[in-house]
Structure formats: C-alpha cells, structure tokens
Amino acid sequence: MTLSRNDRAYWLQTMERIAGPVLKALSERKLKATMPVAVKTDEMLLSQHGEPDRSPYMYLEALGRTLAGLASWLESGPRDGEEGRLRERFADMARAAIDAGTDPASPDVCNFSEGYQPIVDAAFLAHAVLRAPTELGEKLEPRVRSQLIASLKATRTRKPFTNNWLLFSAMIETALRQLGEADWDRMRIDYALRQHEQWYMGDGVYGDGPNFHWDYYNSFVIQPMMLDIVEAVSGEETDWAGLAEPLRKRAIRYAEVQERLISPDGTYPPIGRSIVYRFGAFQHLAQMALRRELPSGVEPAQVRGALSAVIRRTIEQPGTFDANGWLTIGLCGYQPDLGEVYISTGSLYLCSTVFLPLGLPADDLFWTGEADWTSKKAWSGVNLTADKSIYG
C-alpha cells in the first residue's frame, strides 16, 4: 500500500529542509553572502557557451523557483496548529524575501534585466504570485508591491527564445495583470499560447518549440504555465477561453503518463536536460492533483504514494545537500556531471514545485486515502486496465 499516513508531515519536513535555507537567508538579506556558487565546470562546455559565471542569475533562480513550489501551501495551507504556525512563518519570510530580492538598496537585490536568464526566473516568481494572490500579492506592502512590478517589467527588454521561453514572458504579463497593472501586454500572452498550439504533438505532449524533446519540460514549464495563464486570462479574450478545455484534456493525459513513469521504488527515467531539477520533473502531476483534475481511474492517494516514493528515493540519497544544507547538483545525490552549463545552485530549487499538493487540506483524499500507484500494481501482478492514448 502507500508509504504512510504521515506522508504530509514528511512532505512538510522535506519542504522546510529544502526551502528554509533560501527563504531564511533572503529574509535576512544574506543570500548572496551564504549560498554557494556551484556550477557545471566542464571547461569545453564553458568555452562553447561562454557563461562560466552563473552568479548574476542564481539568486533570482533560488527566489522564484522556491516560491513557485510553496505558493499554493502559503495561500491555502492551515492557519491554526503547528502547521499553521509554520505556514505563517514561511509566508512572512516569503514576503521579506520578495522585498530583499526587489529592493534596489538590498545587498540581495536580484538581477531582472541583464542577460537572458532573468526572463526565466522572473516568470517562476510571477507564477508564485499567480498561485498565491493574497499571500504574495495583496499582503505585500505597497512599497514592495511597486518594487515587484518594476522588477517584472524590467524583463521586457529581453527577447525570449522561440520555445518554452515564450511562456515566461506570458506568465510575467499575466502576473502584472493580476497585480493590477493596466499596461499588461496581451500580445506576449497571445503569441505564446498560439505558438504552443502549433507545437502540440499529440497524446498530451507539446514540443519545446517546433521539435519534440525527450525531457520533462512539459512538466517543468509548459503545461503548468499554460493551464494557469489561460485560467487567469480566459475572461479577456474569446480565443483564450476556447483553449481551456483542450488544454485541460491534454493536461489530464500527460498527468496519466507521468504517474505511470514512477517505478515501484520511486525512480523514474533520467532522460533529457535539466534532470538535476530532481522531483521538479513531476510539477505537472503535482499540479493536477492540486487542481483535483487527475485522470479517471487514478486515485489521489496513489499520486501521493508515487510522489512520496520519488521524494524519499531522491532526498535521502547521501550527498543531496552540502554541509550547510544547500542542494548540490545531481539527481540522486551529488552528480555534478549531470548538470548543464546553465545549472547553478539556485536553479536546483525548481524541485520545490513537487510540493504543490500541500495546498490541499489535510483531510483531502490525496492525504487520507490508501492506494498503490500504477507501476507498483503492475509489477506486483495486479490485473490492470490497458493504457490508451488520448485518441482511444
């Protein structure tokens, strides 16, 4: 059966272990002074790509990616009891972290305008704001809110690449709309959505640009952002509203595939780039559980069991954290050669997005039910219904 009815406590403990150092350091304006600068050190790759120094980007990476994963819990988690006190403490640190990262006078002010990478991580920060409109939007002091808006707008000088990056620009504009900015750019949203419609490959999967890639970018970026963008802006344009149902059906199918990728022991195929984002590879499955839009026949509890197995299999591997509690480069422990040239300490915190279901109440079936996940059933000899494509 599933691992334990104490899974939620384990998730919270793991979330605190991962996100705590980032938010504590930022809230104290000590992130740049304390977070190590770990990067890919392959000299050949560095000479080809010319970006040996990732430090201009990694602090915004850590801020945006951490909050993208914690946002639903900050917004909807309990207000009472031990978990409620933990949530309140993290929400306070999150708002202080946004202040530290956007205040020009802060020693931890983040780079939103130099180089291309800031588009990416401003978008993850924007996604956090979209997921937590009260805790990371309305509750911001007016000064901090203005700083955040100005920082997000600063990314407009950078041109995104013609791939999943289009969604980063679209997400930033969607967050600006939510924050009450009148000059949010409809065209950046429309272009991103239209291009991804052209890049739909079938059976629930999009290309990353015009080509298909065997990787987890449908989960890291594409489907979670598309779903939340369209949900936020569908009332603005008839064409956007018309995308909601096709996107939902594709998302359900991709969640079905993701759940089946998790083996009985919590491992999954180490394919494609950015594999060192660890269980961030299952952001999409986590989000569909949060939205209560799992495929027919997939019980919420089996998704909890599968994701819990992945978290345990990954996070308990020696070498995952350095001596000071910061994540190291790797999928299962310290594996620096798995990192691409764009990987740094800050980028690793996209793994936090697996924690999205913490936004569900503790009495939800996701947390209280008992069910094995598909591969565990299959490799135990349980008779299963055959998998089918979206086309039947």
What's the whole-number mean pLDDT along residues 46-54?
52
Given a cut of 50, whether residue 62 has pLDDT beyond it is yes
Q: How buried is 285 (Cβ within 10 angstroms: 0-12 exposed, 13-18 middle, 19+ buried)? A: buried
Which pLDDT does position 391 carry in this prediction?
A: 86
What's the whole-number mean pLDDT along residues 199-212?
96
Task: Give the C-alpha distances (Å, rounded to integers) separating 98 from 70, 212, 274, 359.
Answer: 13, 35, 25, 20
Q: Using one digit for the tens of pLDDT, what is the confidence trace for 65-74?
A: 999 999 999 9
Q: Is residue 88 part of a domain?
A: yes
Q: Is residue 327 part of a domain?
A: yes
Of 124, 139, 131, whose CA–CA distance to 93 is shortest?
139
Q: Using one digit for the tens of pLDDT, what is the confidence trace for 234-259?
A: 999 999 999 999 999 999 999 999 99
* Start-end of H helices in 272-299: 283-290
Q: Is residue 390 part of a domain?
A: no
Which pLDDT does position 52 carry in this prediction?
A: 55
Question: Degrees (nearest 5) of the Cα angle 384, 388, 389?
Answer: 155
Q: Is residue 360 part of a domain?
A: yes
Place of tokens 């504009």: 173
Are 331 and 280 contacting, i.e. CB atoms less than 8 angstroms apart? Answer: no
Question: What pTM was computed for the model?
Answer: 0.95
Mean confidence (pLDDT) of the chain? 94
Q: Using one digit for the tens of pLDDT, what is the confidence trace for 135-156?
A: 999 999 999 999 999 999 999 9
Q: How many percent of the chain have pLDDT more than 70? A: 95
The domain spanning residue 322 has which CATH number?
1.50.10
* Rg, Å, the chain Cα set: 20
Q: Is residue 340 part of a domain?
A: yes
**Residues 144, 148: Cα–Cα separation, whole Å:** 6
Q: Is residue 292 part of a domain?
A: yes
What's the whole-number mean pLDDT along residues 163-186?
97
Q: How buried is 213 (Cβ within 10 angstroms: 0-12 exposed, 13-18 middle, 19+ buried)? A: middle
Given a cut of 60, whether residue 51 has pLDDT beyond it is no
Q: Using one digit for the tens of pLDDT, what is the confidence trace for 78-131?
A: 999 999 999 999 999 999 999 999 999 999 999 999 999 999 999 999 999 999
Q: Which domain holds residue 286?
A: 7-378
Q: Is residue 19 part of a domain?
A: yes
Domain count, the chain: 1
Select the more confidently predicted residue: 37 or 41. 37
Q: Using one digit for the tens of pLDDT, what is the confidence trace for 310-364?
A: 999 999 999 999 999 999 999 999 999 999 999 999 999 999 999 999 999 999 9
Which pLDDT does position 53 carry in this prediction?
A: 73
